[in-house]
Amino acid sequence: MSLLLEVKNISRNFGGLAALSGVSFDVSPGEIVGVIGPNGAGKTTLFNVITGFFPPKQGQIIFDGEDVTKLKPHQISRRGIIRTFQADILFRSLSVQQNVLTGLHIRSLGLNPKHIFFSPSPIPKSETGIANEILETIGLTQFKDYMAGDLPHGHQRMLGIGVALAAEPKLLLLDEPVTGMNMDEIRAVIDLIHTLREKGLTVLIVEHHIKTVMDICHRVIVLSFGKKIAEGSPEEVRRNKDVVEAYLGTETD
């Protein structure tokens, strides 16, 4: 079974600070891998490097056999790595449905001038249909026509996942998806990820919420101060002495 993602020896500095030092790990197709670590450990920086928003000072990212280290974010997205954002980044003045629609960009036929000017509806009905299906999957159908910026926080984050799903990811990168959610919403996200796991989607998830990570991940990687300090099954990691030390006083349940 070939590896989907290989992260090789990634280092990245900000000013004098080493945000990431020599981080390496692999992800196999169909796995759900969690990345945890105390604040400032470099988790989001890792995502930014993988998705091309920051170049690494050193190291390589291999996706599906191809070296994607130096590619631009939209090129990496086109190859199937889709991410969500830690901050609430949405198209706030567009409707919920429109937000999901934008996610269909890569496979859309709607950019063909023939379609823009000559078809009966400017946005292909098929695409609207797919968007509605995704809204069903994430449970936001009733908010279809609401402005994204008007949604409560938990729904906004769910919408962010919906937009990413619309882009048909091979590898989904979730950056702290359940931050600020209540227990019901977190349950919904966990169920969603279980469903996606059954469909064979590979997921890499950064999370603070340890319980979520333990619940859904096959494997967990622990970062601290930019270095990988542990890797293994959730149970192994939980019992790891170094991990407990790194988290001393900051364990979230």
Residues of the shown chain interacting with other proteins in the complex, contacts defined by CB under 8 A: 51, 53, 72-74, 77-78, 82-85, 89-94, 98, 101-103, 105-106, 108, 110-111, 115-117, 122-123, 127, 163-164, 166-167
Main-chain phi, psi angles of 38, to 5 degrees: -65, 170
CB 171, min distance to other proteins, A? 13
3-class SS at 68?
coil
The neighbour count for residue 82, using CB atoms within 10 Å, is 24
Residue closer to other proteins (CB basis): 18 or 106: 106
Residue closer to other proteins (CB basis): 124 or 232: 124
In the chain, count of helices (H) and strands (E)? 10, 10
CB 103, min distance to other proteins, A? 5
Dihedral, CA atoms, 7, 42, 199, 52, nearest 10 degrees?
-60
Residue closer to other proteins (CB basis): 145 or 253: 145
Place of tokens 């830690």: 86
CB 97, min distance to other proteins, A? 11
CB 109, min distance to other proteins, A? 9
The type of residue at 184 is D
Dihedral, CA atoms, 39, 71, 105, 217, nearest 10 degrees?
-40
Residue closer to other proteins (CB basis): 35 or 164: 164
CB 253 within 8 A of CB 210: yes
Main-chain phi, psi angles of 154, to 5 degrees: -60, -40
How far is residue 40's CA from residue 73's CA, in Å, rounded to a whole number?
23
CB 170, min distance to other proteins, A? 13
CB 149, min distance to other proteins, A? 9
Residue closer to other proteins (CB basis): 123 or 188: 123
Residue closer to other proteins (CB basis): 74 or 239: 74
